[in-house]
Structures are given as C-alpha cells and as structure tokens.
Amino acid sequence: MEKYKLLILDTLPNWREMFKEYLSEKYEVQTANNIEEAKNFMQQANFDLVIVGLASLNALHFADAVGQEFLSFLESEHSNIPRIIIDNDSNNDNTLTKGKFSRDELIEAVEDYILVKHPTGKEIVEFIKNDLIDAIEDAISKPKEVLRKKNKPTQTVQDRKIGVDFLIITTLRKEYSAVLSKFSNVRTIDKSQSVVNVLTTKKFTYHVVIVCVTHLKKKMGPVIAAIKTTAWLKDLQPKNILLVGIAGGVRDKSDLGDIIIPENIIDANVGKVVKGKEIPDYKHYEPTDILFNETDNTFLKNWSDHIEEKRPENGKSKIIRGLIISSGKVIADSKAVELYQETWRDMRGFEMEGAAVAAAIKDVGQQTEFLMIRAISDFGDENKESDKKWRPYAFDVAASYTRAFLESGPVLPLKPIFQ
C-alpha cells in the first residue's frame, strides 16, 4: 500500500530529524531546511500534508517574513493541501521543547489531518505550546470532509448517506470495552470503532456506532476529543451522540458508583493568568432537551439489572442530575475541587472531554442531539488512588445505563423499521 507523503519545513536540523524519526514508520517523509528547498520538493512530488516549524523560524527572528511568504505560496499554489503549523506562544520561550509536544500527540495530529480534508484547503491549524484548545476551536470552526481514500471526490448533499442513529463516544479503552460488553451482536470495524443494532422496547431498531477517542495508552483530553468528534460528525453524520464513561464526584453531593447526567456543562479549559493568578473564562453548554428529558423515562426504572460487576461496598447506584465541570486536567486534589465549588456551588462532578465534544457538535452545526452519561469513580482528592477499586464498577454502571437508555427508545430512529 502506498504511503501518504509528508513534507516538513524546519530550519533546525534536530527538529527535522525528530519529526522524521517520529513519522517515517507510517509515512513517506521529506524534510526541507529553507523555503526554496520546500518549494522545489513540492514541484517534484504531490504531498498529502505539510508541517511547518514556525517555532524554529521564530527563534531565528524572521517568522513573519519567511513564514508568511511560505504560507502565501501554499495558499496560492497548493491550497488543497492541509497544513499543521507548530508555533510558540509569544509569552513563552522562542524554542519549542520536545517535552511540550510529545511523539504520540504529533502522530495523532497527523493521522487526524490526513483524514480531515478541508473543502476550501485554506484552513491552517496552529499547535501553540500552551494554547492547544484555542487552536482546535479555530480548526473546527469551518466544515471539513473526512476522506478515507486519497482523491475521493467531495460528497454532495444528494450523495450523503443517511447517517447513524446514535454515536457513543468513549475516552478510555476500558470504557469502550464496557459498552461493547453490553451488546451481543457487535461488529468490529477497527480497534477503535464498532457497530451494533439495538432493538428497543418500542420494537424499532437503532443503528449505533461505538467509538473510542484513545487507542494509545494515556492519550486523552479535550484536544483529541474535539478533533475526533469533528471527524466523526462529518463521516458518520450521527443524529444523536452519547458521551459515556467515568467522572469524579463531589463528596456529600454524590456517592461512588452513582450516575451523573449533566444538565449543565461548564467548560473550564479556557482562561488567562494575571499576576500569577489563573482567571478562567467559563463557557456553558447544555445537553439537548429531547435526550435529557428521556433520562426520566419509566422504561429505565430497571436499568441496574444490566450491571454485572460486583459493587466494592454496600449500597445502590442512583441517578444524579446537575452541573458538571469539564476541565482538561486530571484532578487529585481536594483544594482544586473546593476552588471550583467557590464559583459553582451546585457542581456534582467533573470530567475532561464533555465541553470539547459539545463545542465540536455546536461548531459543525448538524443539529445533532447530545447527552453525557458518567459514573463516579473517585472524588478527585487525595484518596484518588485508593478509590481505583471503584473504576471497574463505574465502567460497568455507565455502560449498563447506556444500554438501558438505548433500549428504552428515547427518540425515533432515522429509518423507523418496526419489528
């Protein structure tokens, strides 16, 4: 199988070699150390993606002149080629350190932008050292087409498939496996995507796709969730999205093993630092009423019958509705939870990807319904490690409720075939 071709422009040889080492296993990589060399290579071969190391250009104090010259060249001569620009925040050092941009992040970004083709070819994605979230929000602000093959023609409205009834998004592999375990007729597409048909109590069937954000260990967070959700929205055209998995809870307002169904999602990923103090710029998202209202469906009263994992301690899981904080941080400090509570006294829990998924849905604008289903596995405090015994149960609880919710038939399917 022919490899995709990547061109890397970077003035620093150590960065060129690092990028090449990271990417050569899967891609055919050509490196250039100046603008003219890059232009010559582009005249000789067709590249699928261009990576520009503006961080190095900044270090040599001619980013504006040379960088803009090359971007103008790409715009005028190769506007159909996606680009990744690795840049620095102007408030930071003028060199991009390897520890700030990991091998897995680079590979994941390249994989996603090989698949995500911009219809205009004019989108530029800037990976800024300490501001990845803004970059992704900019990247998903315009529609994209997902291509599974090179040179696949852009779909017209008439050519588009009808889509899927539900897309279930999980973040962790164990969340993904737990959801799959609840269905008997699962068909595996690849290591991070499966398909299942779900027969409801109302005698119609849903076409459901189950996906996992991460296929690499510890590869998680809002950046990757936003990129992949955007791609799945364009590729699968789901009518409804369920984000399913585990979350942290708030002591005295929830118990380990409870289900949180957020009615308010507070995005705590964006903010600024003034005089050493972090000032968040909170954004607010909500699930869509059509799905949220159905979480009180009488058909769900026996949802816990699907739970197979043994509960670590006595008790019974209950359903909690309320406010959840969505932050890109793993929280294991009770003071951090208390800090959020100073602003959001009614918060019931916290997680990492919900706001990113909600933002992607809003920006793509396909009228996709959205609901988050989270099971509490810890309280985000100093006992987080000892609370890990709850994780298998929490995975199972979230998956069990998800199965029951689908089988209750909360909405009509896209193709209402009754059995």
Provide the 8-state DSSP code for 67.
I
Structure tokens belonging to residue 66: 């040379």
Task: Identify whether 161 is part of a domain.
Answer: no
Same domain assignment for residues 335 and 288 = yes
Same domain assignment for residues 74 and 175 = no
Q: What per-residue confidence (pLDDT) applies to 184? A: 87
Predicted confidence band of residue 113 (pLDDT cuts 50, 70, 90)? low
* Exposure string for 331-365, b = 16+ CB within 10 A, e = fewer: bbeeebbeebeeebeebbbbbbbbbbbbbbbebbe
Contact 30, 7 (CB under 8 A): yes
* Exposure string for 62-86, b = 16+ CB within 10 A, e = fewer: ebeebbeebbeebeeebeebbbbbb
Task: Identify whether 239 is part of a domain.
Answer: yes
Alpha-carbon distance of 35 to 246, in angstroms, equals 47
Alpha-carbon distance of 406 to 403, in angstroms, equals 5
pLDDT in tens, 292-348: 999 988 778 899 999 999 999 999 999 999 999 998 778 877 888 888 888 888 899
Average pLDDT over residues 38-54: 83
pLDDT in tens, 176-189: 999 999 998 899 88
Residue 148 has pLDDT above 60, yes or no: no
CA-to-CA separations, 82 to 52, 71, 78, in angstroms, rounded: 11, 11, 9
Total domains in the chain come to: 2
Same domain assignment for residues 108 and 196 = no
| CATH number reported for the structural domain that contains residue 239 in this entry | 3.40.50.1580
User: In terms of pLDDT, which residue wins out, 339 or 127?
Assistant: 339
Task: Identify whether 286 is part of a domain.
Answer: yes
pLDDT > 90 in the chain, percent: 35
Residue 145 has pLDDT above 60, yes or no: no
Q: What per-residue confidence (pLDDT) applies to 275? A: 67
Average pLDDT over residues 253-274: 86
Provide the 8-state DSSP code for 63.
I
Same domain assignment for residues 108 and 181 = no
Burial of residue 6 (number of CB atoms within 10 Å: 0-12, 13-18, 19+): buried
Task: Identify whether 277 is part of a domain.
Answer: yes
DSSP letter for each residue of 142-176? S--EE-SSTTPPPPPTTT-----SEEEEESSHHHH
Alpha-carbon distance of 353 to 127, in angstroms, equals 19
Task: Identify whether 414 is part of a domain.
Answer: no
Which of 52-66, 74-88, 172-186 has the highest mean predicted lDDT (pLDDT)? 172-186
pLDDT in tens, 231-258: 899 889 999 999 999 999 898 888 999 9
Task: Identify whether 313 is part of a domain.
Answer: yes
Q: What angle do CA 405, 407, 408 make, to 5 degrees?
A: 65
Look at 46-50, 137-141, 142-146 and tell me which has the smallest mean pLDDT: 142-146
Predicted confidence band of residue 105 (pLDDT cuts 50, 70, 90)? low
First to last CA, the chain: 43
Same domain assignment for residues 183 and 320 = yes
Q: What is the pTM of this model?
A: 0.63
pLDDT in tens, 290-305: 999 999 887 788 999 9
| Domain carrying residue 97 | 5-146
User: In terms of pLDDT, which residue wins out, 406 or 19?
Assistant: 406
Query: What is the DSSP pairing of strand 145-146 with strand 187-190?
Result: unpaired
Residue 96 has pLDDT above 70, yes or no: no
| DSSP H/E element including 79 | none
CA-to-CA separations, 357 to 70, 165, 288, 364, 400, in angstroms, rounded: 33, 17, 13, 11, 22
Same domain assignment for residues 207 and 114 = no
Structure tokens belonging to residue 239: 């009518």
| DSSP H/E element including 83 | strand 83-87
Task: Identify whether 154 is part of a domain.
Answer: no
Task: Identify whether 195 is part of a domain.
Answer: yes
CA-to-CA separations, 296 to 287, 319, 323, 396, in angstroms, rounded: 14, 10, 17, 20
Contact 249, 379 (CB under 8 A): yes
| CATH number reported for the structural domain that contains residue 140 in this entry | 3.40.50.2300
Structure tokens belonging to residue 196: 């299942």
Question: Final residue of a domain: which of 91, 111, 146?
Answer: 146
